[in-house]
Structure 1
Amino acid sequence: MTGGTGGIGAAVVKQLVQDGASVIGLARSDNSAARLRANGASVYPGDLRAPESWVARAAACDALIHTGATFSDDMGRVDRQSMLALKQAAKHRKQPLKVVYTGGIWLFPGTGAVQTITEKTPFAPLPAFRFMTETIRTLSHGTDLNLTVVHPALACSRDSGPIADMTRALKAGEPFTTRARPDTMWPLVEIGDLAALYALALKQSRFRLSLIASSISGISVGHLASHISARHGQPLEIVTEDAPRNTAPDTDWSAGYALSQTVDTTHARRVTGWQPDHSTVEDLVVALSK
């Protein structure tokens, strides 16, 4: 696992350990190592920026799940170099290495370009995430890797994601400030459900597979806010903010919140047997609103 202490990665580690898997987490600090061990994983020291220190070990495993990202100016270069190094290391295997790569819903266009996004919808990535589409193409080429790409919708947990952010704003008596408008559509997925899909993706025998990980096909920001308001008995105001003037498009990680998207949620369920526990907005809000 790369990124095993991040929001998605930590949930995936817990799911895999619960399923009985032996998980090795890449850790570049003592703090990360301690968090991985606390979740039941063993640790291999290494840094995404220095793939030569860990790709041989990763290529010797049954599979690699890549959820790591630096979210720095060089994120694309680091991601591409680490995955190229992994692909090179995997050439020495007798069987293709199973790789589960994390893409994202923001690699796809907004609703203005297509009515409903499916796994067959051509990529139209935001500038900050364009590197992912290039890396996916590289990983898909050849027979060294058995590749599954998981494209998470907006992941929601008690501590992070749109529902947690809205709830914090409401309890603080403040408006919810976002790049979205009230009519912007957001596809959503609960973090535990997302982790369950990653675990199922490991078991798939298809050589090339793309999965949109969304249990809620799309809900307007205004509608989501009204659900949270009703849950807590307080009104929540939505304030739409402009893109920051001092942020270049290539590092504007939050631009995706302005995208209005509706997705088809059936493919991942049909192919993997995924059955998310939180398939309605009501389920999500009740489960995650503190």
Structure 2
Amino acid sequence: MSPRVVSAGAIAGLVSRFIVAPLDVVKIRLQLQPYSLSDPLAPLREAPAYRGTVDTIKHILRHEGVTGLWKGNVPAELMYVCYSAVQFTTYRSTTVFLQNALPTRMPDSAETFVAGAVSGAAATGVTYPLDLLRTRFAAQGRHRVYSSLRGALWDIYRDEGLKGFFRGLGPALGQIIPFMGIFFASYEGLRLQLGHLHLPWGSGDATAGIVASVVAKTAVFPLDLVRKRIQVQGPTRSKYVYNDIPVYTSAVRGLRSIYRTEGLRGLYKGLPISLVKAAPASAITLWTYERSLKLLMSFDKDKGEASI
């Protein structure tokens, strides 16, 4: 792959991540609030019970300023670059292995499923400490828990050990295989029905991919929510914007506890903004990628003309 393509992809991802970062902070704040959305006393609590995206943004701007919407963006940007690199490398390596190491070739769909699951698991495991740091910084309210990224690394290592960087890794890995399975099952089923359509925003295949992604994300979203809550547990649990997040000894018990105290709706806090975020993120990524690639190619062209 051309270095220009890799560089343009990295630039596009970083720009897109920066622009949609406020939506990610909003999603994390909504996921972390341990209150029932139907509780009439929730707005009277010391920690605000956000009723939606707009209320969350207003509260952050009023109490934490504009920069509050970008909390955790540095580890998030680092995570994006590392995740993409590990995922791409592992996906290609796994695909080559499956094509050459087995006595018979697997069906293309099964091959893609296995390669996608393996690469997703590898990328998640390698970059998980950055994901945890992103969540903890985004969960900070007016009072800072960590003074800097370097300080956070030292504090977590000192107080929680290496395992502290991997709190919630279980549900993170646990959602990858069902996500891939649901995605491919939904995509293949819809593709046959929608493949012949030509819609304003793309082909029927593209529409099937979008719908399959929404269905898969929705199905595994409770695991993402419980992962976020486990990530902020530990010695600093009482210092975040919500200081009374229950202690979950496992992801399964966490899901049961959330369902019992917050209802089914509680398992999907932050889902709407998570789904909405995907569209602008993709659009910004593609727009930036095309222009970055053209700019890099023009630089190479100027250098070539200058050397003549």
Same-fold call, TM > 0.5? no
Which TM bucket (shorter chain)? under 0.3
TM-score (norm 1): 0.27
The structure with the larger Rg is 2
TM-score when scaled to structure 2? 0.26
More helix by share: 2
Judging by fraction of residues, say which structure has more strand.
1
Bigger RCO (CA 8 Å, 6+ sep): 2
